[in-house]
């Protein structure tokens, strides 16, 4: 599993995602657009060293990166709300090389990127706001992915 963080402004959110990615075995994090980059103080404060244990790379354009990943055989997913979505608990992660796009805290995943992905995954929400923090969403996504891995291994 790889993550693509697109235009996530908060260094605290990015650091938290790094820390969760380390805990659950993410292979790589792609940072794009206006994302805060290590060694940003906020990123390092919340990552607690995970920027050193999780591979990461910066690219300016998330759209161009998505096109490149698709051409390389990746399954591209987006974590977003929308009509053409699969609920996270219903999606079966397979053994393919997968990258999940997480978008900006306010705008979500760029519509141009949504046109490129194979599936949109949505976390069901039952409150009034219908909005989760991006780092919390990443944690829920990664736990579901890891849980499915563990069940396949019967661990």
How many Å is the Cα radius of gyration of the chain? 15
Read off the pLDDT of residues 79-109 as tens digits, 9 standing for 90 and up. 999 888 999 999 999 989 999 999 999 999 9
pTM for the full predicted model: 0.96
Q: What is the 3-state secondary structure (H, E, C) of 64-86?
A: HHHHHHHHCCCEEEEECCCCCEE
Tell me how many degrees the CA angle 144-31-118 measures, rounded to the nearest 5. 50
Read off the pLDDT of residues 113-144 as tens digits, 9 standing for 90 and up. 999 999 999 999 999 988 899 999 999 999 99
CATH number of 2-153: 3.40.1280.10
Domain boundaries, the chain: 2-153
Torsion of CA 18, 145, 110, 130, to 10 degrees: -100
Q: 147: helix, coil or strand?
A: helix
């Amino acid at each position: 599993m790889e993550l693509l963080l697109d235009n996530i402004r908060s260094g605290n959110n990015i650091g938290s995602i790094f820390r969760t990615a380390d805990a659950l075995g993410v292979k790589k994090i792609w940072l794009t657009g206006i994302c805060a980059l290590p060694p940003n103080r906020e990123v390092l404060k919340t990552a607690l060293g995970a920027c050193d244990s999780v591979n990461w790379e910066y690219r300016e354009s998330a759209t161009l990166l998505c096109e490149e990943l698709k051409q390389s055989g990746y399954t591209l997913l987006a974590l977003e709300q929308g009509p053409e979505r699969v609920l996270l608990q219903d999606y079966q992660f397979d053994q393919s090389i997968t990258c999940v796009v997480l978008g900006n805290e306010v705008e979500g995943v760029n519509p141009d990127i949504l046109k490129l992905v194979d599936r949109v995954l949505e976390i069901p929400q039952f409150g009034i706001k219908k909005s989760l923090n991006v780092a919390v969403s990443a944690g829920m996504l990664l736990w579901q992915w890891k849980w499915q891995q563990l069940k396949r291994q019967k661990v």
